Chains A and B, each alone.
Chain A
Amino acid sequence: AQTVTQSQPEMSVQEAETVTLSCTYDTSESDYYLFWYKQPPSRQMILVIRQEAYKQQNATENRFSVNFQKAAKSFSLKISDSQLGDAAMYFCAYRSAFGPRDTGRRALTFGSGTRLQVQP
């Protein structure tokens, strides 16, 4: 079974500065997908960024980028130019790439989350 660990329960950043959220995972699979989700107080889980394990290039979405280290099983999220609206819970998630649908391997495995506060 796969596990996802987020070791930072809370982080704080000044507006306009950069912050990095950490995530490590454990798997014996060779191909998989990794995600960062944002959950604001409204509770809606919003996809921030995704990374395919077979791609060496780190994913980037505007102010959000990842540092994917496959050998180290590390997947950190960097938020540049932090904005007040970035304040939320951030969850790292893992999903297998292979497997027939009937084994439920499309399910996401989430970490415990990191609460990000943005100070004005």
Chain B
Amino acid sequence: DAGVTQSPTHLIKTRGQQVTLRCSPISGHKSVSWYQQVLGQGPQFIFQYYEKEERGRGNFPDRFSARQFPNYSSELNVNALLLGDSALYLCASSSESGTSGVSSYEQYFGPGTRLTVT
């Protein structure tokens, strides 16, 4: 089975520009979460979506937005890019099937998108 996929792998943007990152979850998974990982730090939670609705938001400014599509894929948008937005953006999917045990909520990560803002 295919794992979580993300595109693009790398991209370079200029301050003030806008960027869209894409994520396709594991087949059958209905939840997608986004994390930002600045170099040398652990990932920080940005958003969680489930069944196309936002279920959680981390401490990020309104320049960050996301959405989830009927096929459960997701996009993360960042407007008015700042140098500090340079990071690895990770997407994770989980089934959230509601069955007992931790495995249905376990998050599987994609390879990430490396964003560089110059």
Contacts and interface: CB of A to CB of B under 8 A. Distances in A.
Interface of A: 4, 33, 37, 42-47, 50, 52, 91, 93, 95, 101-113
Contacts of B15: none
Main secondary structure of the interface of B (DSSP, over half): strand
Given A43-B112, A91-B42, A104 B57 contact: yes
A100 B110 CA distance: 25
B45 A33 contact: no
Interface of B: 31, 33, 35, 40-45, 48, 50, 53, 55-58, 88, 90, 92, 94, 96, 102, 105-112, 114
Contacts of A103: 55-56
Given A104-B45, A104-B57, A44 B109 contact: yes
A110 B92 CA distance: 14
B111 A108 contact: no
A42 B45 CA distance: 21
A40 B99 CA distance: 31
Main secondary structure of the interface of A (DSSP, over half): mixed
Contacts of A4: 42
Given A43-B88, A91-B42, A113-B42, A106 B102 contact: no
B98 to A, nearest CB: 10
Given A44-B109, A44-B111, A104 B48 contact: yes
A109 B45 contact: yes
A110 B94 contact: no
29 contacts: A37-B109, A42-B111, A43-B88, A43-B111, A43-B112, A44-B109, A44-B110, A44-B111, A45-B43, A45-B90, A46-B109, A47-B106, A47-B108, A95-B105, A101-B56, A106-B31, A106-B55, A106-B56, A106-B94, A106-B96, A106-B105, A107-B33, A107-B45, A107-B48, A108-B92, A108-B107, A110-B44, A112-B40, A112-B42
